A = this chain, B = another copy of it.
Amino acid sequence: MPIKSRIRTVPHYPKDGVMFRDITTLLKDPVGFRITINDLVIRYTARHIDKIVGIESRGFIIGSALAYQLGVGFVPIRKKGKLPAETVGHDYELEYGSDRIEIHTDAITEGDQILLVDDLLATGGTAEAAVTLIESMGGKILECCFVIDLPDLGGRARLEKRGHEVYALCEFEGD
């Protein structure tokens, strides 16, 4: 478990009872960072990908290095109001309240094969919103890719129910 063992657990962050899985300890380690990206490169190198879409902001770190190595373009999905040009957005429900993600209208071309990347899959709310946004622009989701899956929180089941493939480098159960 060269990847999982390098991920730090921070208890009670961001609130009581949550075990936060912190990838900064993985990223700062040159071997840890390298094998994380290389494992994904091996998986996707023979697949046709037009663009990697990374979700703000830890998804930028994983998605960018992977896009570079695969030689494809990188597109950021950001929180509301952070992108400078014309955007389309999608609102989604959180445990308390709601949130909105946005993408530039010129970021995806009809028919683009998209790999969606984030660091962690929990309830899948943000990932599902991202998938909805990408598909509304005519993008096709090749797969949703994460470093960490928390299967007990149901994100994988939620995305698979919509017909999407989900891949994660490691899992933490009991969350």
Using CB atoms and an 8 Å cutoff, list the residues of chain A in contact with chain B: 8, 10, 13-14, 20, 22, 24-25, 27-30, 32-34, 37, 51, 54, 56-58, 60-62, 64-65, 67-69, 71-76, 78, 83-85, 104, 106-107
Add 9 more A-B contacts to A27-B76, A28-B74, A62-B64 (CB < 8 A): A8-B85, A14-B84, A28-B51, A29-B73, A32-B73, A57-B57, A64-B65, A65-B67, A65-B68
User: Binding site of A, secondary structure by majority: helix, strand, loop or mixed?
Assistant: mixed
Of B22, B58, B65, B104, the contact of A24 (CB 8 Å cutoff): B104
A58 partner residues in chain B, CB cutoff 8 A:
60
A33 partner residues in chain B, CB cutoff 8 A:
67-68, 73-74
A sample of 22 inter-chain contacts (CB < 8 A) reads: A8-B85, A13-B84, A13-B85, A20-B84, A22-B85, A24-B84, A24-B104, A27-B73, A27-B75, A27-B76, A28-B73, A28-B75, A29-B73, A33-B74, A54-B61, A56-B57, A60-B61, A60-B64, A61-B74, A61-B76, A65-B67, A68-B69
Give this chain's copy count.
2
Contact B85 A10 (CB under 8 A): yes
Among A25, A29, A76, A84: residue with most chain B CB under 10 A: A84
Bound-complex Cα distance A10 to B27 (A): 33
A56-B57, A57-B60, A107-B24 known; A30-B85 Cβ under 8 A: no
